[in-house]
Amino acid sequence: MTSPAIVAVRTQRVRVPLHTPFVTALRRTEFAETVVVTVEDSDGCVGWGEAPQVWRVTGDSLAGSAAALEGPISDVLIGAAADLSSAGLIQGAVVGNRSAKMGADIALHDLVARRAGVSMIEHLESHASQRSGAGIPGEPGIPTTLLTDITLSIGTPTDLAEAAAARARDGFTTLKIKVGTDAAGDAERVLAVREAAPGCVLRLDANTGWRADEAVAVLTTLADQGVELEFVEQPVARRDLEAMAYVRRHQPYQILADESVFDLEDLVDVIRAGAADAVNVKLAKCGGLTPAIELLQVATSHGLGRLVGCMMESHLGIGAAAALVAATGIPGEQDLDAGWWARTSPYEGGIGYDGPRILFPQANGLGIEGVLS
């Protein structure tokens, strides 16, 4: 049966207030700002996606993403088949603009899932299995929840200790500590968190903020203090894989590549350099679900650990990323807390949060039915 054609690509800007400012080595924000995109087919079925603004990581802006979606991406999609054969058109429509590609790619997947009458998890299970030629590991049945860590914004040791204790009371068992703005004080910050939340698993994220020697010094100090860390994320500059490999060799913790891996070429470079033990795949970095599936499969085949993360985006993009985790059977708590920071979800339908638990909607596709006014 011939697929219906795509007849419209529409955009809408959404600004989501956060209940607490989010601060990293790269930026401070009190809002999640995004472009919501819908893709409609000739039967009137609509898929939803989002293109978050990520100035300091990907360089993508609301204006740029809207222009890419309304221009070259819309040009290649309108009239194309409303199925995954059109996913490649999105990736080839424009150079860069990965947030815009993310939005269109998620919307296309959502459209296909809705047309098939299945959840996004079921849809992605089938798609990933077809691409790999193998079954997808995981528990039988469709998951209803997924666990995430929670990020502790950069602050003083006292600030971090108070936040850590509060998040532990909220039920979070894995804390990701933002470091990298002050190497001389970073060890003290981590020690304060360990004391305030002794039962929690700790992760560090320097967001490229350290030099190699600073990273080794901080991490060696923490190891000497008996601090257990699940991993250390992106300790040094994105392109300096030699420095990241040096850090990996000269301290005992696992190194997770984040900003160093946007696309498949980046991942191959990291593997060849021996620069990381694991990779953080984010839809806004790679351009959506389609390239993310390929990155996860290549990482697995080369023995790298996998984590799915997010930018400061809304429940829509988080819902797609969470469904990807559930569909591909990635173990452990993921890094998908961005929606938790929002005062409320800006959508009718979609995922919800209950402390560290992401709650999947019992609906077709992502379950989004509209933007709340």
pLDDT at 154: 84
pLDDT at 237: 97
**CA gap 69, 97 in Å, rounded:** 9
pLDDT at 138: 44
pLDDT at 135: 37
Q: Which of 101, 176, 282, 285 is catalytic?
A: 282
Q: What percent of the chain has pLDDT over 70?
A: 95
282 is catalytic: yes
- In the three-class reduction of DSSP (H, G, I as helix; E, B as strand; rest coil), residue 30 is classed as strand
Q: Which CATH architecture has domain 131-371?
A: Alpha-Beta Barrel (3.20)
pLDDT at 139: 46
Spatial CA neighbour of 111 closest among 371, 372, 364, 373: 364
Structural contact between residues 330 and 308, judged by C-beta atoms closer than 8 angstroms: yes
User: Could you tell me where the DSSP H helices lie in the chain?
Assistant: 62-68, 74-77, 87-92, 98-116, 120-132, 157-169, 183-196, 212-224, 241-249, 264-273, 283-286, 289-301, 315-328, 338-341
What are the pLDDT digits (tens) for 87-117?
Answer: 999 999 999 999 999 999 999 999 999 999 9
Q: Is residue 145 scored above 60 in pLDDT?
A: yes
User: Could you tell me where the DSSP H helices lie in 93-182?
Assistant: 98-116, 120-132, 157-169
Q: What is the token pair recorded at 262?
A: 């946007």
178 is catalytic: yes
What are the pLDDT digits (tens) for 252-263?
Answer: 999 999 999 999
What are the pLDDT digits (tens) for 30-41?
Answer: 889 999 999 999
Q: What is the token pair recorded at 78?
A: 């309108």
**CA gap 124, 78 in Å, rounded:** 23
**CA gap 138, 148 in Å, rounded:** 17
Give the CATH superfamily of 6-117. Answer: Enolase-like, N-terminal domain (3.30.390.10)
What are the pLDDT digits (tens) for 285-329?
Answer: 999 999 999 999 999 999 999 999 999 999 999 999 999 999 999
Q: Residues 224-241: what's their mean pLDDT?
A: 98
> For residue 372, which amino acid is it?
L
User: pLDDT higher for 201 or 137?
Assistant: 201
pLDDT at 351: 98
Q: Is residue 27 scored above 90 in pLDDT?
A: no
Sketch the domain layout of the chain as residue ranges: 6-117, 131-371
Q: Residues 197-215: what's their mean pLDDT?
A: 97
What are the pLDDT digits (tens) for 49-73?
Answer: 999 998 778 889 999 999 999 999 9
Q: Is residue 29 scored above 90 in pLDDT?
A: no
**DSSP per-residue letters across 207-262:** TT-S-HHHHHHHHHHHHHTT---S-EE--S-TT-HHHHHHHHHTSSS-EEESTT-S
Q: Residues 205-212: what's their mean pLDDT?
A: 96
Q: What percent of the chain has pLDDT over 90?
A: 88
Query: How many CA within 13 A on the CB side of residue 284?
Result: 29
Please report which confidence band the pLDDT of residue 151 belongs to, taking 50, 70 and 90 as the band edges. Answer: very high
pLDDT at 55: 79
Q: Is residue 219 scored above 60 in pLDDT?
A: yes
